[in-house]
């Protein structure tokens, strides 16, 4: 698939198939889980993004990397990008993806998570979960002997954040020192973006209404990461101050899945946080607009912004597949089946 990003990623000084960071990450991550971005080291995050770019530009090299591997996706929530990016990515690397619709039967309701895990580990090589409760994912990971991947929970959305920062690296060349602003609800997507930005040395500013700030535990972890990696985490309640000179402005829906009953209450609270042309004008002239999608157009973002040349929302969406392919390769030892990595 041809890249539609504004700027090509920088040429690596070492061929990616000999890159020591990717090989080291492959050795450490094989068989591990991804429940949270906090499960990854800074070097592992960088390796995923680097491998994601390699997979994106040389997909034919990975056609048999996961031959005969089985992946099950068990989703309690509706999905477009997450499901299709995992299924197409896994299938194009030789594996087989099995989808189980859990929207009418939440995991843990019919039988315990532990019992589900002990069955699945005997049939499949990786378990991908999209759930409401984050505990469902951590419980599955604690009980399954195969890797478990968080494909979204009420606490984090790590695969989304990896794809997003891959898009930023493609556009700007590097993320370290980048001024990244999130405007809206301090939700699961916000949490994973804070952690990923902190791991990569970005300066992350989050602007939320009073009472909708990100979880304090995530903030504490992100600030510790940012300090180690030369970045900064700021929390504000003024969206105009937050986007001042930003290189990237990101927003998400103000009513996440599971909070639909709060729609009427939230609408007036989040109205001043809408990303429109006036707000984007406060960002740097070269700033990009980002959204994890689906977007509620003319609510959290106007058509004029999301359809503008500044918008890279579909580059983000495309990268869901490439970043997730890289993640699967590292967790499942797939590089051993790629000739250039042997």
Residue 255: what pLDDT?
72
pLDDT at 212 over 70: yes
Tell me if residue 320 is catalytic. Answer: yes
Q: Examine the pLDDT at 14 and tell me if it is beyond 70.
A: no
pLDDT at site 9: 37
> How sure is the predictor about 16, in pLDDT bands with cuts at 50, 70 and 90?
low
Is a pLDDT exceeding 50 seen at residue 39?
yes
Q: Which helix (H) or strand (E) holds 143?
A: helix 134-143
Q: How confident is the model at residue 10 (pLDDT cuts 50, 70, 90)?
A: very low
**Among residues 46, 83, 130, 191, which one is catalytic?**
130
For the chain, which residues make up each domain, given as ranges?
16-156+319-335, 160-317
Catalytic status, residue 130: yes
> Is 190 marked active-site?
no
DSSP class per residue in 5-49? -SSPPPPPSS-GGG-HHHHHHHHHHTT--BS-GGGS-HHHHHHHH
Question: In the predicted model, what is the mean pLDDT of residues 112-132?
Answer: 98
Buried b / exposed e along 321-337 (16+ C-beta atoms within 10 A): bbbbbbbbbbbbbbbeb
What is the DSSP code (8-state) at residue 165? Answer: H
Which run of H or of E encompasses 114? helix 113-120
Q: What is the pLDDT of residue 342?
A: 64
Residue 160 bears catalytic tag? yes
55: confidence class by pLDDT, cuts 50, 70, 90: very high
Give me the chain's average pLDDT, please.
93
The one catalytic residue among 125, 292, 315, 316? 292
User: Of residues 266, 320, 322, 324, which has the active-site annotation?
Assistant: 320
Whether residue 25 contacts residue 44, with contact meaning beta carbons closer than 8 Å, is answered with yes
pLDDT, tens digit, 9 for 90 and up, residues 249-301: 999 999 766 566 677 889 999 999 999 999 999 999 999 999 999 999 999 99
SS3 content of the chain, % helix, strand, coil (to 5): 45, 15, 40
Is residue 288 classed as helix, strand or coil in its secondary structure?
strand
What would the CATH number be for the domain defined by 160-317? 3.40.50.1370
Could you give the percent of the chain with pLDDT greater than 70?
93
Residue from 33, 252, 266, 315 carrying the catalytic annotation: 252
**Residue 262, pLDDT score:** 75
- Answer yes or no: 157 catalytic: yes
Annotated catalytic residue: which of 9, 125, 139, 160?
160
* pLDDT at site 17: 62
Average pLDDT over residues 60-69: 96
Give me the residues paired with residue 223 across strands.
none
Residue 239, pLDDT above cutoff 70: yes
Say how far apart CA 113 and CA 119 lie, in whole Å: 10
Residues 6+ apart with CB under 8 A from 225: 38, 42, 195, 198, 199, 231
Average pLDDT over every residue of 206-221:
97
Residue range 16-156+319-335 in CATH 3.90.550.10: no
Instruction: Indicate if 160-317 has the same CATH topology as 16-156+319-335.
Output: yes
Structure tokens at 26: 């492959």
Average pLDDT of the segment spanning 143-156: 98
Extended strands (E) in the chain: 70-75, 96-101, 126-130, 148-150, 179-183, 203-207, 232-236, 248-251, 288-291
pLDDT level of residue 7 (50, 70, 90 thresholds): very low
What Cα–Cα distance (Å) separates residue 99 from each residue in 128, 211, 304?
9, 37, 36
pLDDT band at 339 (very low <50, low <70, confident <90, very high): confident
Regarding predicted confidence, which is higher, 149 or 11? 149
Residues near 219 by Cβ (< 8 Å), separated by ≥ 6? 194, 213, 233, 235
């Amino acid at each position: 698939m041809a890249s539609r990003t504004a700027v090509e990623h920088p040429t690596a000084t070492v061929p990616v198939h000999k890159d020591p960071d990717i090989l080291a990450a492959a050795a450490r991550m094989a068989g591990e889980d991804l429940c949270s971005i906090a499960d990854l080291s800074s070097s592992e995050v960088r390796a995923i993004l680097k491998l994601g770019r390699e997979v994106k530009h040389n997909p034919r090299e990975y056609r048999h990397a996961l031959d005969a591997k089985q992946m099950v996706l068990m989703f309690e929530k509706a999905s477009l990008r997450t499901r299709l990016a995992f299924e197409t990515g896994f299938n194009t690397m030789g594996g087989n993806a099995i989808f189980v619709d859990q929207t009418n039967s939440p995991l843990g309701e019919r039988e315990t998570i532990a019992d589900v895990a002990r069955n699945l580990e005997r049939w499949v090589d990786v378990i991908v979960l999209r759930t409401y409760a984050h505990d469902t994912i951590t419980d599955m990971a604690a009980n399954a002997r195969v890797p478990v991947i968080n494909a979204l929970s009420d606490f984090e959305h790590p695969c989304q954040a990896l794809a997003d920062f891959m898009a930023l690296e493609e556009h700007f060349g590097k993320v370290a020192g980048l001024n990244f602003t999130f405007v809206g609800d301090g939700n699961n997507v916000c949490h994973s973006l804070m952690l990923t930005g902190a791991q990569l040395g970005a300066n992350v500013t989050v602007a939320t209404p009073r009472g909708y700030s990100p979880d304090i535990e995530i903030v504490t972890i992100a600030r510790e990461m940012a300090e180690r990696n030369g970045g900064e985490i700021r929390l504000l309640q003024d969206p105009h101050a937050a986007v001042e000179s930003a290189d990237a402005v990101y927003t998400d829906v103000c009513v996440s899945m599971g909070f639909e009953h709060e729609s009427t209450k939230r609408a007036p609270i989040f109205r001043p946080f809408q990303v429109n042309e006036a707000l984007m004008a406060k960002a740097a002239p070269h700033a990009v607009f980002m959204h994890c999608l689906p977007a509620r157009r003319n609510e959290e973002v106007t058509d004029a912004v999301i359809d503008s040349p500044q918008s890279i929302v579909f580059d983000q969406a495309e990268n869901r597949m490439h970043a997730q392919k890289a993640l699967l390769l590292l967790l499942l030892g797939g590089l051993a089946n790629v000739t250039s990595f042997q």
